Amino acid sequence: MTEFATARRSRITPEREAELYEAVLELLREVGYDALTMDAVAARTRSSKATLYRQWGGKAELVAKAVRHGKPGGSVGEVDTGTLRGDLHALTLRSDDCEMEQSSALMRGLAMAVHGNPDLLKAFKEHLVEPEMAEFGRVLQRAVDRGEVRADCPALQFVPHMMIGAFAARTMLDEQPPTQAFLLSYIDAVVLPALGAPTP
Amino acid sequence: MTEFATARRSRITPEREAELYEAVLELLREVGYDALTMDAVAARTRSSKATLYRQWGGKAELVAKAVRHGKPGGSVGEVDTGTLRGDLHALTLRSDDCEMEQSSALMRGLAMAVHGNPDLLKAFKEHLVEPEMAEFGRVLQRAVDRGEVRADCPALQFVPHMMIGAFAARTMLDEQPPTQAFLLSYIDAVVLPALGAPTP
């Protein structure tokens, strides 16, 4: 067998690659990073472990790639309703309850692993955290520009902690995944008053 | 060997038990629940795996017991400074930065495991979450009684989510553990304004 033939044989189609990454994310949500094995990925995707190792090198690389693949970094159409409350509600309503449960499970599955795995932390931040944060940043900037929030409001810097924190704490405290209804009432009860912005 | 002799030999002293639980909590913070092995516990505590299994039955039971042991459920003296801000700051200052880093690491190490392990979830809630929440509840009730916070303030029900959420989100968003300074400024910028309570 020539080198060329080997290289060709190891190539997989983009559809197959996407399928594989989705299976990895599924397993991460179910069992978490530590308990995820290459055997389980191979079984679920009906591929050989040899292929997985040849293509990705190892579990850390495969998981980081899957995280990078999982969610589009860009925004699905800019949100701009004319009020901060409208914008925060619209951002929340873009993920349905099922997607929120999945994100929350993925966050849990990766929480421990991102410490001590710099490449995974980078993928996690760049693809799951920062796009959301950038969007909140734009929405808040417009609220400041419109005069809904004072530019020197000390709560501005904590909006990511308020939002992502509530998302993470929901499962821990109430044993249920975050839902649209939970986040909408949290926005009205906590985020807007903390920012001194108009509430309903 | 008689049954009696076997029973006697399996008994360990309370000091030794405490030492063992502390080692388990240490390992949980370092590697998390999934990666924690009975081998590692045995090695770190210089005990035999046979002893560990005989005494605790298995990893799930040992970890739940260690969590139950780790932190006193009761309060270390009631906090009552006369203002909500004073009380929230005093509660925060009771843990130094090192203890906060440890709690945050433990939370991370258990986040995935408490799902799908009801006994561990129960230990986690009863010994790490609920005592803190009960204390916040008492502090908030006094603030309502004093007229600092309106009894129907919608943010009241979300104080645990605000506080524990910020604690959890800090590491995820800023790649540094929560500190006293971070939590004090978060209380002033977010928690008190959301509650409509007096700020500095």
In terms of DSSP H, where are the helices of B57-150?
A: 59-70, 84-93, 97-111, 118-124, 130-146
Say yes or no to pLDDT of A89 above 60. yes
- Measure CB to CB from residue A111 to each of B108, B173, B175 and give the nearest one: B108
Nearest CA in chain A to B192: A194
Asked whether the predicted pLDDT for residue B1 surpasses 50, the reply is: no
Q: How many CB pairs below 8 Å do chains A and B form together?
A: 124
CB contact at 8 A, A172 and A149 = no
Cβ-defined contact of A190 to B155 (cutoff 8 Å) = yes
Answer whether residue A101 shows pLDDT above 50: yes
* Nearest chain B Cα distance for residue A149, angstroms: 13
Q: Is A71 exposed, middle or buried (0-12, 13-18, 19+ CB in 10 A)?
A: middle
CB pair distance less than 8 Å for A166 and B155: no
pLDDT over 80 at B163, yes or no = yes
3-state secondary structure of A62: helix
Q: Which residues of A touch B155 (CB under 8 A)?
A: 189-190, 193
What average pLDDT does the segment A82-99 reach?
Answer: 94
- What mean pLDDT do residues B149-178 have? 92
Specify the higher pLDDT residue, B120 or A145: A145
Please report the pLDDT score of residue B76 as a whole number: 56
What residues in A contact B186, CB-CB < 8 Å? 158, 161
Half-sphere exposure of B34 (CA within 13 A, CB side): 21
Domains with residue ranges and CATH for chain A: 3-70 (1.10.357.10), 84-195 (1.10.357)
B137: distance to nearest CA of chain A, Å?
14
CB B28 within 8 A of CB B66: yes
Report chain A residues whose CB lies below 8 A from the CB of B171: 115
- When pLDDT is averaged across residues A111-130 and rounded to a whole number, the result is 86
CB within 8 Å: B167 and A165:
yes
Mutate to test the interface with A, among B161, B167, B174 (most CBs of A within 10 A): B161
pLDDT at A72 over 90: no
pLDDT in tens, B5-64: 444 445 788 899 999 999 999 999 999 998 999 999 999 999 999 999 999 998 999 999
Residues B189, A35: C-beta atoms closer than 8 Å: no
CA distance A24 to B123: 30
Assess contact for B166 and A158: CB atoms under 8 A.
yes
Interface touch A189/B157, C-beta < 8 Å: yes
Instruction: Indicate the average pLDDT of chain A.
Output: 88
Phi-psi region of B117 (alpha: psi -120 to 50; beta: other; left: phi over 0): beta
Report d(CA B124, CA B130) in Å as an integer.
9
Total residue count of chain B as it appears in this document: 200
pLDDT at A33: 92
In chain B, which residue's Cα lies nearest the Cα of A109? B112
Q: What is the pLDDT of residue B112?
A: 85
Q: What is the pLDDT of residue B127?
A: 84
Mean pLDDT of the residues in chain B: 88
pLDDT of amino acid B10: 54
- Do A169 and B170 make contact, defined as CB atoms within 8 angstroms? no
Higher pLDDT: B127 or B186? It is B186
Per-residue confidence (pLDDT) for residue A9, from 0 to 100: 47
If you average pLDDT over residues A139-161, what whole number do you get?
96
Chain A nearest CA to B5, separation (Å):
39
Mutate to test the interface with A, among B152, B167, B171, B172 (most CBs of A within 10 A): B172
pLDDT per residue as tens digits for the range B48-102: 999 999 999 989 999 999 998 876 544 556 889 999 999 999 999 998 999 999 9
Mean pLDDT, residues B168-177 taken together: 87
Q: Token pair 């370092």 is at which residue?
A: B30
Q: How far apart are CA B7 and CA B137, in angstroms?
A: 44
Is the Cβ pair A162, B164 closer than 8 Å?
A: no
- What does the DSSP 8-state code read for residue B156? G
pLDDT in tens, A7-23: 444 578 889 999 999 99
Task: Tell me the C-alpha distance between A164 and A100, whole Å.
Answer: 12
> Which ipTM value was assigned to this complex?
0.85
> Which residue did the predictor score with more confidence, B157 or B129?
B157
Q: B192: closest CA among B159, B161, B151? A: B159
CA-based nearest distance B194→chain A, Å: 4
